[in-house]
Structure 1
Amino acid sequence: MATDIQDQKVATDSNDDTVSITFTHKGVSHTFDFTTNATISDLSEEFENELSIPRSNQKIMISKVGLLKVPFKDPELLLTAIADKKITLTGSTAEEAGSMAKAAEHASRRATRRSRPMQKVSAYKTRDPKREQEESQYTFTTLRPLPYLPNPEKSLQFLQKLKDDAGIKAAMRKHKFTVPLLTEMNPIEHTQSNAEGTTRTLGLNRNQGEVIELRLRTDAYDGYRDYKTIRKTLCHELAHNVWGPHDRNFWDLCKQIEKEVATADWKSGGQTVGSEEYYEGGHSEEDEVHDHGGWTGGEFVLGTSSAGGSESTGQAPTQGMSRSEVLAKAAEERRKNATGQQEDTKKQEAGQYP
């Protein structure tokens, strides 16, 4: 039987033949009574029974003897030999040892995680296979800048940005538009000057969506025009995939596409390619038209055929033509336009125009 006491002492009862062992554990003094033939092994067993400290966890410090642990070097050491010594017991219960083991394991795992290189966390994106399939189908199949103009790679980036525009993609997917070729136009070939002023064409739709040309560059070829203005022109030309003349049907669809593009475009801020901001040249928008589809402006006027393909006034319509024929016709028209403009310039220099 074990009894707590405040002071350490040795008590021997000759009648009962017992020996009292007083020890300290966690700052608290305890006394256990044993028979005079009890050994250090009996004391260790009592520590386990009374204090729930497993024998493997026990460390017994005895003055002038030293530290004893299981298995003892002399397990038959009599307690009478150490009864007058200062004894200190250290060790954790099984429950305490389990908690410490868990804490140590947790600390080890945390240290391991901290020692690993930091991994970049990326946002999880939900794939929509149907949408991806539609976007790959309803798009601009080919992008083509004009290779003979300065920095064609910049124009290609601009065309790619239009193709990837969230609003444009949404509108093309909704209306099921597929355009085989999106290209740029040469500003000088689509700028007409006469006595009444200058007219600039912003875009052309050939053969109901076979080819769409957009005026990307400034007149001086020193930069690019405002992105949103060009995107709005693209909306206009996409509407010509369905309607040719600029009638109520056309304008209703054009405004609808513009609204859809603006709604789906979740991006904000300046539209850039590389490190350069697109900008509009220093000329008035009053002299600019999308494609002359029913508009007038100068002697050279682009009309719109009943089939919806834009054409030059007095030229053969493109309805029923193949893609290669449309491209060849477009090149021929550009050549004639450039020649006509040169002749007008010569006449002005000769004083034939007021």
Structure 2
Amino acid sequence: MTEASNPPVEDPHVPDTDTSPAPSESANNPDQLQLTIHHRNKPHTLTLPSTATLHDLTLALETTLNIPTHHQKLLITPPSASLPGTLKPPLPPSHATLSLSTTLPLTSPRFKLTIFGTPSADIQTLNAQGATQSAREQRRRTTHAQYAATATPASVASSLSRIHTLSSPSGTPDAQYTFHRLLPLPHLPNPARSLDFLTRLRDDPGIRSAMRIHKFSVPLLTEMDPIEHTTSHSRTLGLNRNKGEVIELRLRTDAYDGYRDYRTIRKTLCHELAHCVHSDHDRLFWELTSRIEKEVERGDYTRSGRVLGAGAGAGVGMDEFYNPGEWEETLREGEYERGFG
């Protein structure tokens, strides 16, 4: 026997559990369309008219996220037969006039709208950085060309052409273990001051002491032209050519408007003196560099502090260069242990 079924009775006090608005429709205004768009892994909610087109979307993104339309790239997931997965303005008329409500797969659980593009503020920052770098490089080149084209006064040229040696009597240790010639670059501004700088290095009590200990005799100590040893990735601070025939030091700032810190340059010189013995930057080289630095400090009775320089460089062939980062890298890798005398 089968019981007759009774019609269901609706309880007016139990609300319908499926009254939430559609994902793309505003609950308060059916004439509006809400879209969540992702940019740089961050969601942004846009409210557009329900009649908005794809072209209207690109304009709204330009206003809201400050991404110019010609820098926008839209990724629509999942793609449809009428709409490709990737759109890049300016949109063709066949796509620009499509309605968002009917074209986008709003009801799909996989629906996601992503925009790729750089905001105008970021572009302006990058352009400003590039312009600043270009202007700095142009100033350096202009300064170099200006002074390279300027004839050195005869009085200065005559002075620079001489070989500058210590005033110690011939045959003494100072005269034998030293830099036998000092050569500033006459085409750069104020070569006389560079000569004074080189003279100070040569006559530095700590440098003289270390050169006597290791019997270093270097024919030429000169300055290097910064522009010839500067790239966008490196700045060479010193060079040792042919194991002590010539040592070049970066005395000047990149803009030729001053001189670098004396103790930083002296530390570079210690590095280059070590290349008179060791060409490779191995453990023996760094041990000798450290020993020379300590000897220079002990021998310098005028010392009042230490300043550690920074920079990088590269050499070619027999030219040795100062790259301070290698010292720290050697210490980190455990190739060198402190404690020797």
Task: Answer yes or no: same fold by TM over 0.5.
Answer: no
Instruction: Tell me the TM-score normalized by structure 2.
Output: 0.42
TM-score, structure 1 normalization: 0.41
If you compute each CA radius of gyration, which structure gives the higher value, 1 or 2? 1
